[in-house]
Amino acid sequence: MRRFSTLRLILIFAAGIVLAFGIALSARIALSAGIVPDMAFPDISFYSAPAQEAAYEPEKWNLILVNRDHRIPDNYYVDLIRLENGGTEVDMRILPDLQNMFDDMRQQGLDPVVGEGYRTNREQKKMLWHKIFELLQQGYSCHEAAAMAKEWVAEPGTSEHELGLAVDINSISGEQEYDIYRWLADNAHRYGFILRYPEGKEEITGIAYEPWHYRYVGKAAAEEIYDTELTLEEYLAP
Ligand SMILES: [Zn+2]
């Protein structure tokens, strides 16, 4: 009897190893193929949108604050417009200023492109999973990977890209990245955009420095934020 239960324990243990190996192997295959399984991403403890909804006043739509502590309101509606180059969409209210900014940059010999504009909640989830898988592959534990990924990728429901009010601006050729970031840092406020995640303010924004990520807040707020060097969190603090 005793021998039987020992045998059973060994079998259970072996089955556990086979199962774990199978999971690891399939994850590795998916990773090596560059695929994150396109399925309903499980809402397990890797991420959880904050309970508190961002305050939204239609007449102050440009000042909605979405971050790690404030998620996008459940019934938030975005009227999108696709950019001319066909790549991505943005909230149509920001297009005139965005267009002016791009026209002026091009006139000065730069080659900017909106790499990322609007993103769905599902796309945001997928991005976070990509980052977590990438870190797991580098040897970090699940816990470490999840924590580190969130410094780079906002949790689904808390990304400004899901509002359609943020754009990631890069260089088409890839050769003018530095010049473009420099130009944006000096001029974007004139068009109503702010550098949303400045260097040295990571504690406040919860996001690493992103010289390419610009958020539309309107010209008045952008000028003030530029002059005072505040983050949107600080600017809107009561
Ligand atoms: Zn961004």
Assign residue 106 the CATH number of its domain: 3.30.1380.10
Q: What is the DSSP letter of 89?
A: E
Give the pLDDT confidence score for residue 25 in this predicted structure: 46
Q: Which helix (H) or strand (E) holds 65?
A: none
The boundaries of the domain holding residue 22 are: 2-236
Ligand 1 centroid, distance to 172 Cα (angstroms)? 16
Give the pLDDT confidence score for residue 215 in this predicted structure: 98
Give the pLDDT confidence score for residue 12 in this predicted structure: 53
User: What's at 169, amino acid-wise?
Assistant: I
How many Cβ atoms from other residues are within 10 Å of residue 13's Cβ? 10
Q: What's this model's pTM, rounded to 2 decimal places?
A: 0.79
Tokens of 23: 């999971």
User: What's at 93, amino acid-wise?
Assistant: R
Ligand 1 centroid, distance to 159 Cα (angstroms)? 8
Q: Which helix (H) or strand (E) holds 77?
A: none
Q: What is the mean pLDDT of residues 115-144?
A: 94
For helices 2-32 and 121-137, what crossing angle results, to 10°? Answer: 110
Ligand 1 centroid, distance to 108 Cα (angstroms)? 24
- Residues annotated as catalytic (active site), given as ranges: 210
> Picking from 49-53, 165-169, 195-199, which range would have the lowest pLDDT averaged per residue?
49-53
Q: What is the DSSP letter of 75?
A: T
pLDDT tens readout for residues 37-52: 444 555 444 556 677 8
Q: Which helix (H) or strand (E) holds 154?
A: none
- The closest of 149, 125, 122 to 135, measured between CA atoms, is 149
Give the pLDDT confidence score for residue 5 in this predicted structure: 58
Ligand 1 centroid, distance to 134 Cα (angstroms)? 19
Residues 6+ apart with CB under 8 A from 200: 209
CA angle 93, 95, 97 (to 5 degrees): 100
Give the pLDDT confidence score for residue 147 in this predicted structure: 86
Ligand 1 centroid, distance to 178 Cα (angstroms)? 17
CA angle 86, 171, 218 (to 5 degrees): 70
| Domains held by the chain: number | 1
User: What's at 62, amino acid-wise?
Assistant: N
> pLDDT > 90: what percent of the chain?
68
Ligand 1 centroid, distance to 214 Cα (angstroms)? 7
CA angle 108, 112, 116 (to 5 degrees): 155
Tokens of 188: 């974007």
